[in-house]
Amino acid sequence: MRVGFLGPKASYSHEAAQKIFPSFEKKAFDSISLAISAVEKNEVDYSVIPIENSTGGSITVTLDELVEKNVFISSEFLLPINHVFLSNSKKNKIDKIYSHAQGFAQCRNWIENKYPKAELIEVQSTSKAAQLSFEEENSAAIASEFAAKEFSLTILEKNISDSKSNETRFVVISNKENSPQGKNKTSIVFGVKDKPGALFDAIESFKRFGVNMTKIESRPSRKKNWEYLFFVDLDGNTTQKNILSALKELQEHCKDFKNLGSYSRVKT
């Protein structure tokens, strides 16, 4: 088994992949797009990709790639995100902090309180931030304990996230759709026709057939300006008659529709 993840090594995606697939060969990719393309091309069997953070919201590039690529969600995993402050420099000498955009967003209050004058430099991952901090004097990183061990950095402060219940939802991507039997969650994406009440008409079927919609979010379709797609998570799977009936009726109001898969949460 080969498992891809959003690199570089020691990223939160690497940590999630290690927890889900502890004994499988792993390969880092430089972007979410490349990690998902590798699944589509059968270069890896699965890729572990972040899709949503409990405080920062959805990872929009993941949503876009799920639409464009011929892949499916096979499972999901929640990873607690416990950001730490890493550096081999003295605290009072640090004038530059590296992190991912989500890292900065999730530690905004801590940064403003502790390092209001520091230069904040956004990089593609928290593990890259740790690497740069290791290489540069008087710099620090907001990253994970996993990264601290990988890059031999000192943890200057733990649990610096503004929310102490911060989690990231990762999805395992496959190029084959799961058998839905026994799965407890289904994700879909659809676009509606351009007319008044179109979205209401489409999702009304969930109420009529007793389907619990746990999330809905819109994204630009990227095909036409000001045209949107809607991502929806549902309780249950497509072997259930009420979900099948609701989705059949919903599609009568749609111009685009894709079932992203029925799946369950991995527990480690």
CATH number assigned to the domain comprising residue 54: 3.40.190.10
- In angstroms, rounded to a whole number, what is the distance separating the alpha carbons of residues 13 and 170? 8
Please state the domain count of the chain.
3
pLDDT of residue 7: 85
Where does a domain end: 174, 200, 235? Answer: 174
The CATH number covering residue 190 comes to: 3.30.70.260
pLDDT score for 163:
85
The active-site residue out of 170, 190, 206, 209 is: 170
Shared-domain flag, residues 14 and 68: yes
Active site residue 170: yes
- The predicted pLDDT at position 176 comes to 94
Q: What is the mean pLDDT of each run of 10 residues along the chain (268 residues)?
A: 92 94 95 96 97 89 96 96 95 96 92 97 91 96 94 96 90 95 96 91 96 96 90 97 96 95 91
What secondary structure does DSSP assign to 10-47, as a single string? TSHHHHHHHHHSTTSEEEEESSHHHHHHHHHTTSSSEE
Alpha-carbon distance 164 to 59, whole Å? 20
pTM: 0.87
Are the CB atoms for 246 and 205 separated by under 8 Å? yes
| Predicted pLDDT of residue 242 | 97
Is 29 an annotated catalytic residue? no
pLDDT of residue 35: 97
Can you point out the beta strands (E) in the chain? Answer: 2-6, 25-29, 46-53, 57-58, 72-80, 84-87, 96-99, 119-122, 139-143, 154-157, 167-174, 185-192, 213-220, 228-235, 254-265
Dist. CA 230–CA 219, nearest whole Å: 6
What is the spatial distance between Cα 98 and Cα 139, in angstroms, rounded to a whole number?
A: 8
pLDDT at position 56: 79
The pLDDT of residue 164: 82
Same domain, 90 and 49: no
Pair (191, 256) in one structural domain = yes
Q: Examine the domain organization and report whether 59 and 125 are in the same domain.
A: no
Q: Which of 21, 126, 151, 168 is catalytic?
A: 168
20 and 65: one domain?
yes
Is 10 inside a domain boundary? yes
Partners of residue 231 on adjacent β-strands: 189, 217
In a shared domain, residues 129 and 200: no
CB-count exposure of residue 150 (10 Å: 0-12, 13-18, 19+): buried
- Quote the Cα angle for 65-229-80, to 5°: 55
pLDDT of residue 202: 94
Q: How many CB atoms lie under 10 A from the CB of residue 21?
A: 20
Range of the domain at 247: 185-265
Residues 105 and 134 both lie in one domain:
yes
Tell me the chain's radius of gyration from C-alpha atoms.
20
Same domain, 209 and 236: yes
